[in-house]
Chains A and B, each alone.
Chain A
Amino acid sequence: MPSQRMRNAELRDNILKAVYEDNLQITGQGRGKRRAPQAAGRSRRWTALMFLVPMFLFLPAMLNPSPSPVDEPRHVNQRARGSAVHGAIPPPPERQAAAPAPAETASVFSEEVFQDASYATDNEDLPPPDCMNYSFLLAGGDAVRLTSLFGLDVKTIVIDPGHGGIDAGAVGGSGVKEKNVTLDVALRLKSRLKKRGKYNVLLTREKDNFVSLAKRVEFANSVNTDLFVSIHVNSLPNRDVNVIETYYFGPPQNDETLRLAQRENKDSNYSIGELKAIIQDISDTVKRQESVRLARAIQDRLLSNVRNYDADVLDTGVKVAPFVVLLGVEAPSVLAEISCITNEEEEGKLASEEYREKIASFLEEGIVRYLTKKSIQHVRGDDDHERRHGG
């Protein structure tokens, strides 16, 4: 059994090596996580991914039309499994020659995906990858984050202040208008995120003007946004209630969410045909995965913080509803109902600059939490022990 000192020396050696490799990656000399150069085009990354995911799934099947399903051994740790998936993408040389991938796909693969393939092949301790088993990737929404797998990160964030101009949104008993609150909070949120120095933050409207939902969507897509956060304020028949809820796109879960969606979708300017086309256009695995996570992070931060000001605030959690504005944007998108303007006390607070700044900071916290957790996430289980303790 190795002595404590030897174990410690081994630990240090491993750590020093990891620091060295980490720094190689920073300078772009690393072998693992280098990203595609800007010139290769970050344009339409979400669209590229939508194209990439099906290729990812079907290319091996095309190359090997009758794969025999092989159960993955239970002892393979999740990191290895994630990497094994990477390893599966490049076909063996002879097959590559027989079935070349389309040019566009090949270039994306070569930059974004192939580099991590080295992990599996360089680790001789690992069992050979099961190249045909993608169940881990697609089982449930939480097994692996495809954005991490494909090295996508967030550069542009569009914030959408709800309503505006002739559309005042909900109006509180003392006359506070939703359109003004959402704009002010959005401007503050923009300023806070900009200070982080990493994101290009844009608003769908910067002043009190009417912008149709279709225009908002068009704008978000035209700037290739990576995240879309729509800010709204709730209004409820029960004036005693204050509620915080965050939505991502999906079918309505009940009459209440349907009604809310109808109210927020007013003036969308979309025809039924356009809507159908948009719906058909969704390749939603990534978008849904990321939207759920973003919604959870925002809801969590908003709620925990607002509870310091209103212990009775209701948590209706992360919800699904068919908001047009969430449907059309190609990037992960959520709609946050940050407060409830029909609640008298809440309306009073929303009128204060200080509280609106707080709300902006809570939204920022949520977004940042989501962004800082943007790494490959693994299903917890037996394998975690191996991952954390070098097994």
Chain B
Amino acid sequence: MSEGMEDRAVLNVGIDLGTSRSAISADNGRKKWVESYVGWPKDFIARKVVGKPVLFGEEALENRLSLNIYRPLERGVIKDGSARSEEAVKELIRHLIELVRTDESPGEVRAVVGVPAESFKINKLAIRKAVADYAGALMVVSEPFAVAYGVNALNNAMVIDIGAGTVDFCIMHGTVPSEDDQRTLLTGGDYIDQQLQSHLHERYPNADFTLNMVRRFKEQHSFVGAPDRAVEVEIPVAGRPTMHDVTEEMRRACESILPGLVETALELIANFDPEYQKKVRNNIILAGGGSQIRGLRERFEMSLREYGPCRVNCIEDPLFGGADGALALAVDMPDAYWEQS
């Protein structure tokens, strides 16, 4: 903890503002996460039904028919010119901070917010504005960088954050990564959902399912490589619950992100100083929800091994990896920097 922090009675928080899920870690030991959905009642009747002026996460999804619902960072950036999406980011931040505050928490909040790399490039000012109302001092960083800081992968390492909207690559070489050290692909979790939905439509044209159902199937059964067991899910057909074997479709959808992962990782490594490429190859870290796909780490490592020895690891806690890293930044940041931020 930086000098004088306790005297100043500050609550440090690290926020991972994600496309699909947002998480917060605070230095009072509290950690919370929420699905990145924000919903406002459509009219005064809906307002009476849901009983709240704004709903978040799972609760918003459950009441979605009564709400105007927003997933503000879809595809990794604040959606096109939508004031409502900016407002949704603001509400989400407020909600997250409230989740970790206790009655004993100090009034002043210092926040480091990790955002998808694309959003960091495009929306960082908007995100700063959104957070400003709820934090006395704040800094915005790119998500993979926050992860890297949190796991102390500061030098000769590559972090690949497989999120819902984007896959963010970041090479660390002892300083804040520049744009040349980062890449973003749009083939994240949402892309897998679309692939899976399309494969399922093709194989089971009569089955009746939504993208939300597909997302749930993926979260429960995603895998690459050889399946441990058949994947069967319940999908209604003409109103009747029916079991469907989706093993092959699940494998194809999940494996669809592999070529991009391998190609981009190799490209970034190839651009790195040749003397240090070996170190980077042996220090690749997978983060984000996508890193939990069964068998992904092994298949990715196997593919990279065709180009030389390498080691790929997953961070221990993909859900809070970004928020914990952002919190570490907030805590380590000298007071002098905060005062001028």
Contacts and interface: CB of A to CB of B under 8 A. Distances in A.
Given A26-B140, A197-B80, A20 B125 contact: no
A12 interface: yes
A74 interface: no
A127 to B, nearest CB: 21
B276 A15 contact: no
**Chain A residues touching B, majority SS:** helix
Contacts of B79: 195, 197
Contacts of A390: 174-175
B80 A388 contact: no
Nearest to B137: A23
B184 to A, nearest CB: 7
Given A27-B128, A390-B174, A196 B334 contact: no
B149 interface: yes
Interface string B27-59: 000000000000000000000000000000000
A283 interface: no
A167 to B, nearest CB: 32
A232 to B, nearest CB: 25
Contacts of B154: 8, 11-12, 15
A24 B155 CA distance: 24
A14 B81 contact: no
A287 to B, nearest CB: 22
Interface stretch (B3-11, B92-100, B116-124, B243-251): B116-124
A271 to B, nearest CB: 41
A377 B337 contact: no
B332 interface: yes
B178 interface: yes
A83 to B, nearest CB: 14
B276 to A, nearest CB: 7
Contacts of B257: none
Contact of B128 (A18, A26, A195, A384): A26
Contacts of A389: 173-174, 273, 276
B80 A377 contact: no
Interface residues of A, number: 32
Contacts of B118: 196
A17 interface: yes
Contacts of B125: 26-27
B90 interface: no
Nearest to A148: B179
Tell me which of B128, B180, B184 has the highest count of chain A C-beta atoms within 10 A of its own C-beta: B180
A377 B178 CA distance: 11
Contact of B272 (A23, A198, A388): A388
B298 to A, nearest CB: 24
B115 to A, nearest CB: 11
Contact of B122 (A16, A22, A196, A388): A196
A389 B277 CA distance: 13
Contact of B341 (A12, A24, A375): A24
A22 B77 contact: no
Interface string B274-295: 0110000000000000000000
Contact of A197 (B78, B155, B176, B184): B78
B329 A16 contact: yes
B341 A11 contact: no
A194 interface: yes
A64 B118 CA distance: 44
A194 B80 CA distance: 6
A377 B181 CA distance: 12
Nearest to B122: A198
A272 B80 CA distance: 43
Interface in B317-331: 329
Interface string A141-158: 000000000000000000
Given A27-B128, A198-B122, A17 B337 contact: yes
B80 A23 contact: no
Interface string B67-85: 0000000010111111000
Given A11-B174, A17-B337, A26-B128, A372 B272 contact: no
A168 B78 CA distance: 38
B175 A15 contact: yes
Contacts of A385: 273, 275
Contacts of B81: 197
B210 interface: no
Among all A-B residue pairs, the 10 with the closest Cβ atoms: A18-B176, A20-B337, A197-B80, A23-B139, A375-B179, A388-B173, A198-B122, A11-B154, A388-B273, A26-B124
Given A18-B176, A19-B176, 5 more contacts: A23-B128, A27-B341, A194-B80, A198-B77, A389-B174
14 contacts: A12-B154, A14-B174, A15-B154, A15-B175, A16-B333, A20-B341, A27-B128, A196-B77, A197-B77, A373-B179, A377-B180, A385-B275, A388-B174, A389-B273
